[in-house]
Amino acid sequence: MGILRFVAARAALGVLTLIAVSILLYLGTQLLPGDVASALLGQSATPEALAVLRAKLGLNEPAYLRYLHWLWGVVHGNLGNSLTTGTPIASALMPRLGNTLFLAGYAAIIAVPLAVGLGILSAIREGSLMDRLASILSLATISFPEFFVSYILIVVFASELGWLPSLATVYGGMDFWDRVDATTLPAITLTLVVVAHMLRMTRTSTLAVMSAPYVETAFLKGLSRSRVVLSHALPNALGPIINVVAINLAYLVVGVVVVEVVFVYPGVGQLMVDAVTKRDLPVVQACGLVFAIVFIGLNTIADICAALANPRLRSRKRQ
């Protein structure tokens, strides 16, 4: 029952956090400079036309009423209509979300096993040449911003070698392997950005428990360092590793905006940037809410999994 209470409390906290983020998101978009009606009708619009459009869009209502109407629609699956196209936002957002999740999943398949595997190997071979090289390379990759890594990869693999396309052009009904080929460069970019953080946390968390008495006892029994790390240290270091993996998985979805813009990839990030330039506030709010749901959801799941994976936390929850 203790575990169930913990899961319920963590899920409730996630919902409350999401509501708070939705309030900040809505207020933030309302504070953007400029006027929506003027942006839609242009500078030549008459005051009468502006007044009619503001009334039609509900801009004359208090901000809290507009937020409650928007939230009520979101709860019922209605994200509203785009101000620029007049079409339902969900019809444009869902394919873009699928593209973003495809790219994030592609990068995660490469990054998570690579980072966790290298982190464990670095812990096993602490102080070796391999360990030092992994630390140096991880520091190097984490020091460069996404757009810089993106342009370097485009110059090398697209312009010079011609191995991969420079633009991640995808469309509905595209062959799976053609989609993989088109998204390889942005996936490699995201991998290089997130792998260093996960590698260092895996190594640090594993080494942090190496001085525990039960680990020293395992060494005294004559077990090899690799077996001690894998069988004794790693299970008790899973909590921080799960959390850092979840944070980076969330980043692969939420922080993909720059990469999508550089590679002109039709994902949620690109849609959000286009909506900001057009001042299409309902689309901006919908994209921001999707990012918030993914980030908060993954962190909530990570906290629950970390508690379930840690024997000490499980025993504490039962008490």
DSSP string, 20-37: HHHHHHHHHHHTSSS-HH
Rounded Cα distance, 202 and 120, in Å: 7
Rounded Cα distance, 231 and 210, in Å: 12
Q: Residue 303: is it exposed, middle or buried by C-beta count within 10 angstroms (0-12/13-18/19+)?
A: buried
Domains and CATH numbers, the chain: 36-78 (no CATH), 93-318 (1.10.3720.10)
CA distances from 144 to 79, 109, 133, 139 (A): 36, 22, 17, 9
**Average pLDDT of each block of 10 consecutive residues along the chain (319 residues)?**
74 87 81 62 64 66 76 81 80 88 91 86 80 80 80 87 83 84 89 85 79 72 74 72 83 83 87 82 86 86 73 52
Rounded Cα distance, 280 and 32, in Å: 11
Q: What is the DSSP letter of 229?
A: I
At residue 317, the pLDDT reads 47
Give the residue carrying structure tokens 């809410």. 289
Contact 55, 249 (CB under 8 A): no
At residue 60, the pLDDT reads 62
Our measurement of the distance from residue 289's CA atom to the centroid of its chain's CA atoms, rounded to an integer in Å, reads 13
At residue 242, the pLDDT reads 80
At residue 319, the pLDDT reads 47
H-run or E-run covering 183? none
Q: What is the pTM of this model?
A: 0.78
SS3 256: coil
Token output for 177: 């392997």
Rounded Cα distance, 179 and 170, in Å: 6
